[in-house]
Amino acid sequence: MGAKLILDHVNKSFGDTNTLNDISFEVKAGEFVAVVGPSGSGKSTFLSIAGALLTPSSGRVLVGGEDLSYLSEKERHRIRLEKIGFIFQTSNLIPYLTVRDQLLLIAELSGEQTAGEKKADELLEQLGLSHRTGHYPEKLSGGERQRVAIARAWMNDPDILLADEPTASLDLKRGRDVVEMIADGVKRRNKAAIMVTHDERMLDVCDRIVRIEDGKIR
């Protein structure tokens, strides 16, 4: 089974500053990679390029075997919907959707409403959220919110999960729970995940650690 994500000699510059410098990088199926590095080193930029939110200035990005280089904006939407799962730092969830509807939205967007209901209930069960399905995000704890975000990210069976500091607003115990749930999902489905984190105490849960400094992998 090949790589879920490949970055091939990727550069990214904003104006004349080089934020990412000749990054080549692979994540295999079943692998959970942590990305660490000082503030401003380009971690979020790296994640945005891997997640088809940004286009690289040069180099190639392949997600689940599909080359993103020549895709239109519309096709990049499709890639994000079908092949990538996102977990952001905060404000992941849509305030006016219940926990279950957060997941069903993904099914609605991909036009698989009927299969979606069963899938959503399974995921909520797996992440220990069955008793929260009808709640709005405002009624959830920070940890529960991130678990809903994880469940939503798995909804479409993506090739890769991308998480930008998912534990930043959580205490150690809850933070570890969330990271372990991501790791569990990766193994269970044989998919891949990349997590940007500042918290060294989470690193033992991950399979591999990648350090980014000044836009280069060390």
Partner 1 sequence: MFLAIREMKYAKLRYTLIGLIMVLVAWLVLFVTGLANGLASDNAAVIQKMDADYFVLQEEADNRLNRSELSAGQVDAIGGEPFGVRMMTIEHTGKVDVTVFSMNPESEIMPRIVEGKSGVVADQSLQMTIGDQFTDSITREVMTVTGLTEGQSFSHTPAIFVTEGPVSAVAVQSKSIHVDGVELLTKKEALQSIPGYKEEQGSLMMMIVFLFMIAAIVLAVFFYVMTIQKMHQFGVLKAIGTHSIYLARTIIYQVIIISIVSLLISVALVYGIAFVLPVDLPFYLTPSLTAGTSLLFLAVSVLGSLLSLYKVTKVDALDAMGGSF
Question: For residue 110, which amino acid is it?
Answer: S
For the CB of residue 8, give the shortest distance to ligand ATP in the complex, in Å. 19
| 14 contacts ligand ATP (rule: CB under 6 A) | yes
Binding mask 36-65 for Mg ion (x = CB under 5 A): --------x---------------------
| 156 contacts ligand ATP (rule: CB under 6 A) | no
Largest Cα–Cα distance in the chain?
51
- Return the number of the residue (43 or 80) whose C-beta is nearest ligand ATP: 43
Of residues 34, 91, 100, 23, the one with CA closest to residue 56: 23
| 40 contacts ligand ATP (rule: CB under 6 A) | yes
| 19 contacts ligand ATP (rule: CB under 6 A) | yes
Alpha helices in the chain (DSSP H): 43-50, 73-83, 99-109, 113-126, 142-154, 172-189
| 90 contacts ligand ATP (rule: CB under 6 A) | no
Find the residue with minimal CB distance to Mg ion.
Answer: 44
- Residue 96 binds which one of Mg ion, ligand ATP, partner 1, none, with CB within 5 to 8 A depending on kind? partner 1
Q: Measured in Å, how far apart are the chain's first and last C-alpha atoms? A: 26
For the CB of residue 44, give the shortest distance to Mg ion in the complex, in Å. 3
- Return the number of the residue (32 or 86) whose C-beta is nearest partner 1: 86
| 44 contacts ligand ATP (rule: CB under 6 A) | yes
For the CB of residue 176, give the shortest distance to ligand ATP in the complex, in Å. 20
| 45 contacts ligand ATP (rule: CB under 6 A) | yes
- Residue 216 binds which one of partner 1, Mg ion, ligand ATP, none, with CB within 5 to 8 A depending on kind? none
CA 103 – CA 137 distance, rounded (Å): 12
CA 112 – CA 182 distance, rounded (Å): 24
In angstroms, what CA-CA distances link 55 with 45, 59, 133, 211, 215? 10, 10, 36, 22, 16
Six-digit token string for 34: 């942590």
Q: What's the chain's Rg over C-alpha atoms?
A: 17
Of residues 28, 7, 38, 24, the one with CA closest to residue 159: 28
**Binding range to ligand ATP, per CB under 6 A, among 33-41, 55-63, 77-85, 132-140:** 33-41
Binding site residues, ligand ATP, CB under 6 A: 14, 19, 37, 39-45
